[in-house]
Structure 1
Amino acid sequence: MTFPEVNEQVLPCGLRVLSTHSPSASMAEVRLAIPMPSTAVDLAAALVMVDSLPGGGGRADEAENVLGPGALVQTTYDHRWLRIGASVPATKLPELIALVFGALATPRYSADTCRGATRRIIQRNIMARSHPQIIARTALGRHCYGDDFPAVLPEPSALSAVTPEDVTRLHRDHLVPDRALLVVTGGADQGRTSKALAEATSSWSADPGREAPARGPELKDAGITLAERQSTGQSDITLIARSLPRTDPRFPALSIANCVFGGYPASRLVARLREEKGLVYAVECALDELLEDELIMIHAGMDPYDAPVVLREIQSELARFAAEPPTAAEIATAREYMLGMLYQSAASQAGLAELLFSVAPLGVGLDWLLSLPQVLHDVTTDQVAEIARELYPPDRFSGVVVGERGVLGAQEFDVPQGAAR
């Protein structure tokens, strides 16, 4: 696998920078990630902050106005990271750097800014509250982590109570450069980029005395429960089990095992539930994160009346996966799919930026990414079988079946009805 040369440096402020240079590219791709505590953060204030930063909903038109046609900046927050992604003409990269890092170094949140952000977020959340994934994630968190699991969406009253002082304090406490990551790819001149970064980050710093955030609630082996969702034509099943960290030497074998089980269109889970039996609208098994935990996460959406049989089929496939681990042919097919997706990701500047951006925060170096194709080729059938037996038995998985109580309650689940929340 061939990558352009990746330059890595850590700026005096603590910001880690990965950059590549492609002289023929007319655009620059920028990805910035700043770690946030998964708990102990005022979610309402965090969302107002995100909406008010460059790329947030309150500054949606700013990119083209400041950086010219074709420029795009977007800011998001997922409880663990604040992310800013941008695609801009390469000649405008210094202006983008000044815009973004100026806002990070010098927080400015007025009462009007906060009120406008609050109105937009409340309006967006009206629709978001009924989204199946939001409902499933909320139910899953409460069931598997307990009442200390952080809210997925804040209440309107909490948003309305946010003040400029709340947002400024949150910004100063957590939007800091140490452990933050910046990825830059494309055609921007690296000399100009380095100079712009040095100037823009010179006043961006962290309080050296600030304490590390406390760890969030612990994941429990909670079994499977039923969770109510009013007036719906769809049920959702989400199951989770502890996984392995990316730094574990067995992680490549886990990646292949998970791909065979439910990670791509020809996987066992997709073939069984969707292609053969037509029981689900969608189903996948992914290696994901929730709070501080690395997880194997299975998600399926289906007609509520099919939920009991889908749950039994998932559990049956998990049991079969442990008892009948992937064959050499299944492993070879999954490996080729994974390598194809990897090569495709590196084929464009945006894809390369996303690839570097996704790997760098995981505690692994660039050598890990460069060696990944060979490492995947070296994974043996026995290594994948060991992972399947160890991590995929059905009794390792906890989770929720979400749907309308009247419909779900009339079905025959292999779950105690008294466990429903």
Structure 2
Amino acid sequence: MSAPTSHRSAEQIGRTELGPRPLPELGEHRVAPELSSLDTVLPNGLRVVAVRRASVPLVEVRLRVPFADPADSSTGSRHSARAEVLANTILTGTAKRSRVDVDTELALVGGELDAVVDPERLALSGNALASGLGTVLDVLRDALTGATYPADEVERERARLVERIRLARSQPNVIAREALQRHLYGDHPFAKEMPEADEVAEVTREDVLALHADAVLPRGSVLVVVGDVEPDAAVRAVEDALGGWTGERAAVELRPLPPVRGGDVLLVHRPGAVQSQIRLAGQGLTRTDPRYPALQIANLVFGGFFSSRLVENIREDKGYTYSARSHPEFTPGSATLLVDADTASEVTAAALLETRYELGRLGLVPPTEAEVDTARRYAIGSLLTATSSQGGLASFLVNLLGLGLDIDWFLGHPERLAAVTAEQVAEAALEFFAPSAFTGVLVGDAEVLAPQLRALGDVTLP
């Protein structure tokens, strides 16, 4: 038997007698392939976008129905509660199919359908073998035009929702998200992402039926089909299945969000917490703004991926957090820049100080050519990777369409990123990443955090 060989560490493997082993040059990203597509609006007002991607014999379906409160109430609480129950029960029975029938028919074509809702939209997502597109669309039609919301299913799903909401409301990230939304948007319906458990418990079957009749409408909605199917054939299949889905009004879009204005960070007291959640927000740019590609790269350099300045500072260098990131959040007609970090209580103030420092440094010490090039490659590569599968492309497109964009924006974005200069990134960094442009919340134990935060300043204490 030969003697066991010793294992070399990663550092040893990466070095030679002459020093660190040089990294290979990055290859050029391949552009997105040309896609055969068809974009049309049916007589009932439903927009249909069909794209052929024949990588595997499957098809993906994504339906987006704008789903803001038709009454546009100040808090949206009752609407939010009814919408959650609707999304959880719309596929549980129709005049033709029971819940078991729905699941069985989809399973026979290797498919599934799911529904989720938020303050902006009701989304139904599904997939199947390409030969099963007709079945998926027929089940979808049945739910959209004939969902009966069986009383026992409503009762069962309502009880599950109540328990899930109560559990979620104990989670630090949920507490921080809700606190940030209230701080940014006040009583705007977008701030009410999750209803209260007591509100959900009061929802009746009649409430859900009424909401379906009022709000599940084709006009203004978008359906995306991506897969191994010719676009014109896919559109014909959609029209055959959903042409009878009608409504006199258009689905209700969320009203515009107020702009995000910089200001103090609000400390939200969470007694006994040993960790804190830092959540900052500033105004961003919509994807249609010509400055957006430069802002996208500036955000990546700041905190948008693992090699960013923020991660290097408060994670790698100082160890204040395991995860830190910055990212854009898009809504119709608006965009927000978000910065997230979770830290131990004893280093929370220091982490907030360093985050503000990196915000200011991005404008005063602009990204270098090397930083811009690395971020650019990451942006292009991540876009192409995220949309390389049928499901990824379908999800990306339906979100784009909900923001008023189309497939041409997707196909042209790598070129726009490639054309961005370091000077344009520096301008975006100086304009949008000034510490004074951000506000936010900090969730943690105020008794532990208050003394250091008071000394740091620009924090509103409870």
Q: How does 1:154-193 map to 2 (within 5 A)?
A: 154-188=195-229, 193=234
Shift in CA distance, 4/152, structure 1 to aligned 2, threshold 3 Å: closer
Q: How does 1:91-170 map to 2 (within 5 A)?
A: 91-148=131-188, 150-170=191-211
| Structure 1 SS opposite 2:122 | strand
Distance (Å, rounded) in 2 between the aligned partners of 1:176 and 1:78: 16
Structure 1 stretch 44-53 or stretch 176-185: which is displaced more?
Answer: 176-185
| Structure 2 SS opposite 1:32 | strand
The structure 2 residue matched to 1:275, chosen from 311, 316, 323, is: 316
Distance (Å, rounded) in 2 between the aligned partners of 1:366 and 1:405: 48
TM-score, normalised to structure 2, is 0.83
Structure 1 stretch 259-268 or stretch 129-138: which is displaced more?
Answer: 129-138
User: For 1:180-223, what per-residue CA distance to the aligned partner results, in whole angstroms no more than 9, with x for missing partners?
Assistant: 11111112465653343223222222323888765566655442
**RMSD of the alignment, in Å?**
2.6
| Structure 1 SS opposite 2:136 | helix
The answer for the alignment partner of 1:7 in structure 2 is: 38
Distance (Å, rounded) in 2 between the aligned partners of 1:209 and 1:272: 49
The structure 1 residue matched to 2:90, chosen from 53, 71, 82, is: 53
Shift in CA distance, 143/415, structure 1 to aligned 2, threshold 3 Å: farther
Q: How does 1:11-26 map to 2 (within 5 A)?
A: 11-23=42-54, 25-26=56-57
Distance (Å, rounded) in 2 between the aligned partners of 1:23 and 1:318: 44
Shift in CA distance, 344/142, structure 1 to aligned 2, threshold 3 Å: closer
Shift in CA distance, 148/6, structure 1 to aligned 2, threshold 3 Å: closer
The answer for the alignment partner of 1:309 in structure 2 is: 350
Residue-pair matches, total: 418
Structure 1 stretch 291-300 or stretch 114-123: which is displaced more?
Answer: 291-300
Q: Please say if residues 237 and 401 of structure 1, whose CA atoms lie closer than 8 Å, have aligned partners that are also in contact.
A: yes
Shift in CA distance, 385/217, structure 1 to aligned 2, threshold 3 Å: closer
Distance (Å, rounded) in 1 between the aligned partners of 2:231 and 2:388: 21
Q: Please say if residues 91 and 147 of structure 2, whose CA atoms lie closer than 8 Å, have aligned partners that are also in contact.
A: no
Q: Please say if residues 119 and 254 of structure 2, whose CA atoms lie closer than 8 Å, have aligned partners that are also in contact.
A: no
Shift in CA distance, 275/47, structure 1 to aligned 2, threshold 3 Å: same
Q: Please say if residues 29 and 185 of structure 1, whose CA atoms lie closer than 8 Å, have aligned partners that are also in contact.
A: yes
The answer for the alignment partner of 1:204 in structure 2 is: 245
The answer for the alignment partner of 1:80 in structure 2 is: 120
Shift in CA distance, 212/143, structure 1 to aligned 2, threshold 3 Å: closer
Q: How does 1:209-288 map to 2 (within 5 A)?
A: 214-215=255-256, 219=260, 221-288=262-329
TM-score, normalised to structure 1, is 0.91
How far apart are residue 311 of structure 1 and its match?
A: 0.5
Shift in CA distance, 209/253, structure 1 to aligned 2, threshold 3 Å: closer
Where do 5+ consecutive residues of structure 1 fail to align? none
The structure 2 residue matched to 1:29, chosen from 60, 74, 85, is: 60
The structure 2 residue matched to 1:388, chosen from 423, 429, 436, is: 429
2:305 partner letter:
Y
Structure 1 stretch 233-242 or stretch 390-399: which is displaced more?
Answer: 233-242
Distance (Å, rounded) in 1 between the aligned partners of 2:253 and 2:416: 35
Q: Please say if residues 64 and 72 of structure 1, whose CA atoms lie closer than 8 Å, have aligned partners that are also in contact.
A: yes
Distance (Å, rounded) in 2 between the aligned partners of 1:23 and 1:247: 29
Structure 1 stretch 354-363 or stretch 176-185: which is displaced more?
Answer: 354-363
User: For 1:7-59, what per-residue CA distance to the aligned partner results, in whole angstroms no more than 9, with x for missing partners?
Assistant: 21111111111112245622111111111227634111010000012389xx9
Q: Please say if residues 58 and 127 of structure 2, whose CA atoms lie closer than 8 Å, have aligned partners that are also in contact.
A: yes
| Structure 1 SS opposite 2:56 | coil
1:7 partner letter:
L
Based on CA coordinates, which of the two structures has the bigger radius of gyration? Answer: 2
